[in-house]
Structures are given as C-alpha cells and as structure tokens.
Amino acid sequence: MYFQVASKLAVVSGTDSFSQAVNMTGGNAIFFDLTVFNNTGATLSAVAQQGNDLENWADVGGTITKSDAAVWAATLVQSIAAAYVRLRYSLNGTSKVAIVGAGINVANL
C-alpha cells in the first residue's frame, strides 16, 4: 500500500524534518521515493527509520542524497522488523531550504 508522506514540504537546514509514521502491518519492506522540487544549493538526505512505539526511532537504511532540484529517486529497504516506519529529512548548509515530496510503499517481500 502506498502512502504519500510529503507534498511540498519545506526542509530547512540545521533541523531534521520527519514524515508521518506509516504502519507496517502486513509488510516487512518499503520502497520509498523522494522528489526534490526546489533546492537552494544544499545537499538533501532522506533516510528510512523504524520504531515500535512512535517515540524511539532508529535509521534502517535506504538513504537517498540529492543536491539538484527537479529530480526523483527511489530505494528499497528490506528486513524491517518494527511496527512503524517514517522518513527523516536533513539538509546541509546554512540558511538553505529544499521543497520535497515523498511516499512510502509498504510490501511483504
């Protein structure tokens, strides 16, 4: 099942941003995509995180890193054992902003 977790999200440098949590019921893998609509010259990273209690999160892999605007990328993350996943977005630099869209597709592989 596909979940859109970001649409025109402004990611600001110096502070991590996070997507909504997605329930992994019936799945053990995700395929997530990232679209960068605008980027002010910084490097944007998105990484999948997993957690069981919606408070404690750990990176599970599948990092996408982009420094260009108007690009789309996707990656597969397998062997997820937690009940929930989310995406963590970070942007390097000072006074930088990126506008992104993202989605998570839950699968049982």
Domain ranges of the chain: 2-107
- The pLDDT score that the predictor gives to residue 39 is 81
For 38, residues 6+ apart whose C-beta sits below 8 A from its C-beta are: 69, 97, 98, 99
Residue 5 and residue 96: Cα distance in Å, rounded?
Answer: 21
Each residue's pLDDT tens digit, 41-76: 788 999 999 999 999 999 998 898 888 777 889 999
Residue 101's nearest CA partner among 73, 80, 63, 78 is 73
Strands 58-66 and 22-23: unpaired
Number of Cβ within 10 Å of residue 85's Cβ equals 27
Each residue's pLDDT tens digit, 66-109: 887 778 899 999 999 999 999 999 998 777 888 999 999 999 98
Superfamily of domain 2-107: GOLD domain (2.60.120.680)
What are the distances in angstroms from CA 29 to CA 48, 50, 76, 106? 11, 11, 7, 6
